[in-house]
Amino acid sequence: MLILDAETVRELLDPDALIEALTPAMESLSRGEVSLPPRIAAMIEKRSAYLGAMPVYLKEPEILAAKIISVFPENDPEKYHTHYATILLFNPKFGELLAMLDGSDITAARTAAGSAFATKLLAREDAKTLTIIGNGVQAKSHAFALNCIRDLSMIQIAGRDPAKADRLARELDIELEVTVSANASIEQAMRTADIICTATHAAAPVLEWSWIKPGVHINSVGVNPSGREIDGGTVQNAHVFVEAASSALSSPPGGANELLWPIRDGLITEDHVCREIGAVSSGAIVGRRDDSEVTLYKSVGVGVQDAVAADLVYRQAIAKGLGVFLEN
């Protein structure tokens, strides 16, 4: 068994290769060629936390994997991360454990790669301005991923904590070859955006339908079993896409309240949110229909993305002789 720690995983993660690898994987998922049960979790209600498990099997390339993830959103960021993850890769022919990888960076990278993949397919060709709502690891990874696939003219960072948003904006402005600034007003930041990414643990919506202009593309990746980061009006009026309908519409923490609550409230039906991004990529369904339409990609995070990312890292580690081998 190969052990890959966080530093080694970080060194081997290639965002461009990951975005490219997601194309066939997400298309296979939408064709029903992937075994992907919804995420299950043990809930720690007094801490608003959970321990989740995400097994997956892909036929091509053949990958058998499982991620174990703990999500503790109330952690003090000075002492602990909010997410800890481990990914296990198994021999798909015989079931033996091949590798154990630190999954924290993979989780951030694959989520952002999924948003970049959706943005390539759904955003307007002339979309140049990006607003990110959030100030954590996912916000940073989304700035890098979307900058890889679009020639952006400006990135704005906003959030519920303006001081943290300002720190992240100053950090990204140094690291990226695009102007990055903070906006103290979430509403103002959204009103000027062509592309919006919400990456929060908000229990109440940070995005409202009245704040966005026609033609915007939205990536929503925040998941909170007790709330939602996107209001019902946005979901009702947008052309909605998901990774896998079965996962997006499952009970939390597997599914998304952003979708489940508007269905519960009678604003939409399940058919409104069953369009899968892999089917857009393969040409099976239409994505954006015109330049004035608002498109929404609601991500809940699916194991197929973790599996593809872990497999890419594992193969590079084997080729370069990195990691620590242990006898099974």
Q: How confident is the model at residue 298, as a pLDDT?
A: 98
Q: Where in the chain is the domain with CATH 3.40.50.720?
A: 108-301
Q: How confident is the model at residue 64, as a pLDDT?
A: 98
Q: How confident is the model at residue 230, as a pLDDT?
A: 97
Which of 221, 198, 137, 220 is CA-nearest to residue 171? Answer: 137
Q: Where in the chain is the domain with CATH 3.30.1780.10?
A: 2-106+304-325
**Start-end of H helices in the chain:** 6-12, 15-30, 104-122, 137-149, 162-175, 186-191, 232-237, 245-248, 257-264, 277-282, 303-320
Are the C-beta atoms of 149 and 191 separated by less than 8 Å? no
Of the chain, the end-to-end C-alpha distance in Å amounts to 6
Q: How confident is the model at residue 81, as a pLDDT?
A: 87
Q: How confident is the model at residue 73, as a pLDDT?
A: 84
Q: How confident is the model at residue 82, as a pLDDT?
A: 85
Which of 155, 150, 144 is CA-nearest to residue 127? Answer: 150
Are the C-beta atoms of 143 and 172 separated by less than 8 Å? yes
Q: What is the DSSP letter of 225?
A: T
CA angle in degrees (0–180, nearest 5) for 219-222-228: 105
The CATH number of 2-106+304-325 is: 3.30.1780.10
Query: 108-301: which CATH architecture?
Result: 3-Layer(aba) Sandwich (3.40)
Q: How confident is the model at residue 252, as a pLDDT?
A: 81
Averages of pLDDT over runs of 10 residues in the chain (328 residues) are 96 94 96 93 91 95 96 87 94 97 95 97 98 94 96 96 96 97 97 97 95 98 92 98 95 91 97 96 97 98 96 97 90
Q: How confident is the model at residue 29, as a pLDDT?
A: 97
| pTM for this prediction | 0.94
Going by their DSSP bridges, the two strands 49-59 and 34-35 should be labelled as antiparallel
- Beta-carbon contacts of 301 under 8 Å, excluding residues fewer than 6 positions away, are 39, 54, 107, 110, 111, 114, 221, 223, 243
Q: How confident is the model at residue 210, as a pLDDT?
A: 97
Which of 86, 149, 70 is CA-nearest to residue 112? Answer: 149
Phi, psi of 81, deg, nearest 5: -75, 160
DSSP-derived secondary structure for 11-78: HH--HHHHHHHHHHHHHHHHTT-EE-PPPEEEEEGGGTEEEEEEEEEEETTEEEEEEEEEE-TTS-TT
